[in-house]
A and B are shown apart, each in its own frame.
Chain A
Amino acid sequence: MAILSLAWQSLLNRRVTALLTLISIALSVTLLVGVERLRTEARASFASTLSGTDLIVGARTGAVQLLLYSVFRIGDATNNISWESYQDIAAHPKVAWTVPISLGDSHRGFRVLGTTPAYFEHYRYARGRQLAIETGQPFADLYDTVLGAEVAAELGYKLGDEIIVAHGASDVSFARHDDKPFRVVGILARTGTPVDRTLHVSLEAIEAIHVDWQSGAPIPGMSVSAEQARAMDLTPKAITAFLMGLTSKVATFQVQRYVNEYPEEPLLAILPGVALSQLWNLIGVAENALLIVSAFVVVVGLFGMLTALLTSLNERRREMAILRSVGARPGHVFALIMGEAGFLTLLGTLLGMALLYLSLILGRPIIESRFGIFVPIGGPTSYEWLLLGAVITAGFLVGSIPGYRAYRLSLADGLSVRV
């Protein structure tokens, strides 16, 4: 133990170098564990981009494609679901609720989504969190629209602004529904999900702006004004997809089979969690790359320690001879250098974790509002313990290199002081 107190005093004596080494180890540990925690949470958050929904139903297509257009608003549906089929399936006894989705129009690059007020009630993200309206209220009037946070922020909209919806997804659409402008009545709080990039209107509104359209173009000579449209029957003829909640999870596969075998038209029901993890497997390569990069940062940090210890050895040969003269064994000299490496590694790891928790506490609100990732501040997970253990083991292994060199030097030098 005497030799460890020597190691500690020796570190204090070279505190500038020691502190720099300590900081580089600490920062690399913060990065490593931080990346691990963020990627775990990013995966969990991605997997719950849509939660609380038991099944997503759309026209028959691939599971990932259905997920992409119904949840991520990427790409287009190949086909629609007829209103009758939707009504029929929604009436299934095991179905607790449904939220219809009608896509196809856009506004300056953002998708317009037709739905019902049930959307605001049942849509859940990030482990069951409900959509919150930052300002305003849900749509009530036919020509009301509720904007996602990013739509409002990027285009600078506020409550009461009028907007024109364009037909189709193209940014430079020539076909605009400019005879029926919408009024902004609500802006949603940021979720970090595709909801932020969506304009929400009622299903009836989607129907209303298309009453005088056919095959993607206005019907020549036919013009129905915004006010005239209010008087018409605006029950949709078809929707793009719908989200479904069931009375019990147990019924999921039964209802899924029922939808997939629906005789009237070819439909597909998918479990969002399963489809989301399929999608994550496609794009999740990046997270592993990130972890590998941060592991390399730890290696670089430890190499810094190796350099600092090795370069100090030559000027410390006199110190080792003095220690040998008072009876220290070469093993003590090894323990002295190892002790320094051990202190640096352990303190660096400890400081790194402290930095991590500090930045989590400070950064959590920002991460949550910007990216919708809720990072819990709990103790290290077993995998994180494993990472920390690996860092400490690596630190001791790295320390044994200068330790062994010092051992050899002190064995060769004995009491003769050579510089």
Chain B
Amino acid sequence: MVIDIKGLQFRWQPSAPMVLDIEDLTVAPGERLFIKGPSGSGKSTLLGLISGVATASVGSVRIIDHALERLGSVERDHFRANHIGYIFQMFNLIPYLSVVDNVTLPCRFSAKRRAKALARGKRLNAEARRLLAHLDMDHADLHRRAVTTLSVGQQQRVAAARALMGSPELLIADEPTSSLDADRRESFIRLLFDECRESGATLVFVSHDASLEHLFDRSFDLAAVNRSAQRALGETLAEREEV
């Protein structure tokens, strides 16, 4: 299992209310999982737990056979660098780096992904350009432009290339299409699927947009599964999410 969550409970502080309470969630290798949930249902918290910036208060989060709660914070950061590609909702790029430097950024923090990327392309920049080309970003002109001048769709594709750089086993996309036009959403997701299939990556895709659900292998309704969200006062949780 790429993701294996058992009896997970999470609260920010011992005195704070429970934010997440998930009995069981498993994701198989190569699977494409759609996580659906309105804001306040604990999506960001769940993604933080899967990517290892937070650890379970109770229960276990195993990612690629590593129990994250047993790792130290430095090890978890290292683990994330090696195994997880992450795409944000928007503004994914470091403004002072070029398009190609943004794509190769994970290789600065992970020797493993650097080695994997170099195994595919002769040089990191060549591998970055190959990924960009696959995502229809192969105009030399685009590579020279400041990332802040790219359109939102282009920025998201650069972010996808970065997440795929060095073939991490797990790709997490946190509402990556919510800033795109409706007709662009599907094409972006299809590109993402193609790349995940090629590199064998598992995809966890979070969105509140149920219209995308049918594209995925399986869907997971966080609001329904998260027992603490069901019983908690939605308002306080929403606040907790936003702080």
B220 within 8 Å of A (CB atoms) = no
B185 interfacial contact with A, CB 8 Å? no
Total residues of chain B contacting the partner, CB 8 A: 33
Q: How distant is B39 from chain A, measured CB to nearest CB, in Å?
A: 12
Among B86, B97, B101, contact of A325 (Cβ-Cβ < 8 Å): B86
One of A134-142, A197-205, A327-335 contacting the partner: A327-335
**Which candidate, B22-30, B74-82, B128-136, B207-215, is the interface stretch facing chain A?**
B74-82
Are A415 and B51 CB-contacts (below 8 A) given A325-B88, A327-B109?
A: yes
Contact across chains for B88 and A321 when beta carbons are under 8 A apart: yes
* Residue of A whose beta carbon sits closest to that of B108: A2
B9 at the interface (CB under 8 A from A): no
Question: Considering the chains assembled together, what is the distance between the CA atoms of A3 and B94 in angstroms?
Answer: 13
Contact B96 A13 (CB under 8 A): yes
How many A residues face the partner with a CB closer than 8 A?
27
**Assuming the A-B contacts A2-B108, A9-B96, A417-B91, are A327 and B77 also in contact, with contact meaning beta carbons closer than 8 angstroms in the complex?**
yes
Task: Give the residue among B88, B93, B106, B162 with the most A Cβ atoms within 10 A.
Answer: B88
Distance (whole angstroms) from the CB of B15 to the closest CB of chain A: 17
Q: Decide if the interface of chain A is mainly helix, strand, loop or mixed.
A: helix
Q: Is the CB of A326 within 8 A of B81?
A: yes
Contact of A326 with B95 in the complex, beta carbons under 8 Å: no
Query: Is there an interface contact between A324 and B53, defined as CB atoms closer than 8 Å?
Result: yes
Contact partners of B108 in chain A: CB under 8 A: 2-3, 6, 326
Given A329-B77, A416-B48, A322–B109 Cβ distance below 8 Å? Answer: no
Report whether B88 and A323 are in contact in the complex, using a CB–CB cutoff of 8 Å: no
Contact of A322 among B47, B53, B78, B88 (CB under 8 A): B88
Which residues 321-372 of A have a CB within 8 angstroms of B?
321-332
B-facing mask of A7-29, CB < 8 A → 1, else 0?
00110111000000000000000
Residues of chain A within 8 A of B86, CB atoms compared? 325-326, 415
Q: Which of A269-299 contact B (CB under 8 A)?
A: none
Tell which of A2, A326, A331 has the most Cβ of chain B within 10 Å: A326
Known: A10-B96, A13-B96. A326 touches B106 (CB 8 A): yes
What 1/0 flags go to B18-52 for Cβ under 8 Å of A?
Answer: 00000000000000000000000000100110010
Residues of A within 8 A of B51 (CB): 325, 415
Q: Quick one: closest A residue to B102, CB to CB?
A: A322
Cβ of A327 and Cβ of B81 under 8 Å apart? yes
Q: Report the Cα distance A329→B74, complex, angstroms.
A: 7
CB pair B80 A327 closer than 8 Å: yes
Whether the pair B94, A323 counts as a contact (CB closer than 8 A) is yes
**A213 to chain B: closest CB distance in Å?**
85
Q: How far in angstroms is the closest Cβ of chain B from A335?
A: 12
B152 at the A interface (CB under 8 A): no
A261 within 8 A of B: no
Q: Which residues of A contact B89 (CB under 8 A)?
A: 417
Tell me the complex Cα distance, A331–B44, Å.
23
Q: Determine whether A318 belongs to the interface, using a CB cutoff of 8 Å to chain B.
A: yes
Q: How far is the CA of A329 from the CA of B109 in the complex (A)?
A: 9
A332 cross-chain contacts in B, Cβ below 8 A = 109
Nearest Cβ on chain B to A328's Cβ, whole angstroms: 6
Judge if A319 is at the interface, Cβ distance under 8 Å.
yes
Q: With A12-B96, A415-B53 given, is the CB distance from A328 to B109 under 8 Å? A: yes
Instruction: Return B169 CB to nearest CB of chain A, in Å.
Output: 14
List residues of chain A with CB within 8 A of the CB of B77.
324, 327-329
User: Which of B84, B92, B109, B242: most chain A CB closer than 10 A?
Assistant: B109
With A2-B108, A327-B106, A332-B109 known as contacts, the answer to whether A417 contacts B81 (CB < 8 A) is no
A323, closest chain B residue (CB): B94
User: In the docked arrangement, what's the CA distance between A12 and B96, Å?
Assistant: 8
A327 to B174, CA, bound (A): 16
A416 in contact with B109 given A322-B93, A325-B88 (CB within 8 Å): no
Judge if B57 is at the interface, Cβ distance under 8 Å: no
Given contacts A12-B96, A322-B92, A328-B77, contact A2 B109 (CB under 8 A): yes
> Which residues of chain A come closer than 8 Å to B242, judged between CB atoms?
418
- A12 to B146: give the CA distance in the assembly, Å: 13
Interface presence of B105 (CB below 8 A): yes
A417–B162 Cα distance when bound, in Å, is 18
Residue numbers in B under 8 Å from A304 (CB-CB)? none
The answer to whether A415 and B47 touch across the interface, beta carbons within 8 angstroms, is yes
Cα(A411)–Cα(B82), bound, Å: 19
A13 to B110, CA, bound (A): 25
A13 and B95 contact, CB distance less than 8 A = yes
With a 10 A CB-CB cut-off, give which of A319, A321, A415 has the most chain B CB atoms: A415
Q: Does A104 contact B (CB under 8 A)?
A: no
The verdict on B54 contacting chain A, using a C-beta distance below 8 Å, is yes
- Tell which of B53, B93, B101, B162 has the most Cβ of chain A within 10 Å: B53
| Closest-CB distance, B108 to chain A (whole angstroms) | 4
5 residue pairs of the A-B complex, CB under 8 angstroms, read A9-B96, A14-B96, A325-B51, A327-B78, A415-B88
Pairs A-B, 7 closest by C-beta atoms: A327-B81, A13-B96, A414-B53, A2-B108, A327-B109, A325-B86, A329-B77
